[in-house]
Amino acid sequence: MASERFTLDPGTRALLHDLGISVARVLRRAQLPAGVFAQGPVTMTVEEYYRFWDAVDAEAADPDLAARIGRTIAVESFNPPIFAALCSANLRTAAERIAAFKPLIGPVHLDVTAGEGGLVIRFRWPGGPPPPRLLVAGEFAFWVALARIGTRLDVYPTRVAMRGAPPPSAELTSYFGTPIREAETDSVTFSAVDASRPFLTEDESMWTFFAPELRRRLSELEASATTADRVRAALHERLPAGESSIDAVAAQLMLSPRTIQRQLQTEGTSYQAVLSDTREKLARRYLADRSLTTSQIAYLLAYDDANSFYRAFRRWTGLTPDTARTRDAGV
């Protein structure tokens, strides 16, 4: 992704209120500023975005929260890109339009395919730690809500699938009309018939009004990304593949290593500094996942062996990974 900052949907505050979830407590859990919503549009890094949704999940303590989110979503809580998509002729067109502007409102890219087998919306998250399960399930619920609001019909997806699917739930199955299945890729599928059902909210003149401003904002977002942002985003993808060299990152960014070093120097940093900072942040998040061993984390961070990871972590924090994990777990 070009930038590592994303705008949190302004309607999220109202959504949490309607769900009976304390915004203040969520922000405190997520270690975010208490007045963050009072400062205009809320922009977050990927890590902050994930922390926010983890905090919502923990605060609600409701395994069926995604279904409640879907039933609570209302038109007035939609931000401009999504409201503009609601002006589309049908769900298929809305999905294609949202896919184009999704980077404005969240750390995920959408791959939209349509054919006789239906409309499939696949989610591509940033490399590194997986997104919170609530965030993924909430995205599914959004698409169901969008289809129902647009058509005024009880539209159900034909398939809902995700990595780390939640345990079977009658409430979630009732909302989606199908269980959430375990899969390698997060995706939601609608039948071709439902994808082409007319949106009663269609308003092409409104879309014509919104589109130029959305394109301008997207261009600004892409142009505003620093070289450090771009290197960091590339590292999120390259590190799990065992690649940490500037040559590997330069190839992905289609720049020369010399150009990257020069631009980073202009920004007051260096490749090694960005690499070290990225590894440290990822290490802290990986350690929070108790299913990962330190050897696996070392592999995910593209270290040659666990000892190299231990030495680096001690240099960053003064602690060993095991000590940090035990302390953070409150053991």
Residues 243, 236 contacting (CB under 8 angstroms): no
Rounded-to-integer distance, Cα 266 and Cα 41, Å: 29
Return the DSSP state at 107: S
According to the model, what pLDDT value does residue 62 have? 95
Q: pTM above 0.95?
A: no
According to the model, what pLDDT value does residue 329 have? 55
Rounded-to-integer distance, Cα 229 and Cα 190, Å: 35
Strands 186-190 and 118-124: what pairing?
antiparallel
Rounded-to-integer distance, Cα 296 and Cα 308, Å: 13
Domains and CATH numbers, the chain: 62-221 (no CATH), 226-328 (1.10.10.60)
Can you read off the two tokens belonging to residue 159? 């398939």
Rounded-to-integer distance, Cα 168 and Cα 268, Å: 50
Q: Which residues contact 145 (CB under 8 A, 6 or more apart)?
A: 70, 71, 73
Residue 295 CB neighbour total at 10 angstroms: 12
Rounded-to-integer distance, Cα 228 and Cα 270, Å: 8
With H, G, I as helix, E, B as strand and everything else as coil, classify residue 63.
coil
Rounded-to-integer distance, Cα 1 and Cα 237, Å: 10
Strand partners, 198: 90
Weakly modelled stretches of the chain, pLDDT under 70: 1-5, 10, 38-41, 75-81, 213, 217-225, 328-331
- Taking the CA atoms of residue 295, residue 298, residue 304 and residue 310 in that order, the dihedral angle to the nearest 10 degrees is -90
Q: Which of 153, 260, 150, 154 is nearest to 207 (CA)?
A: 150
Q: Which residues contact 155 (CB under 8 A, 6 or more apart)?
A: 91, 144, 147, 148, 190, 194, 197
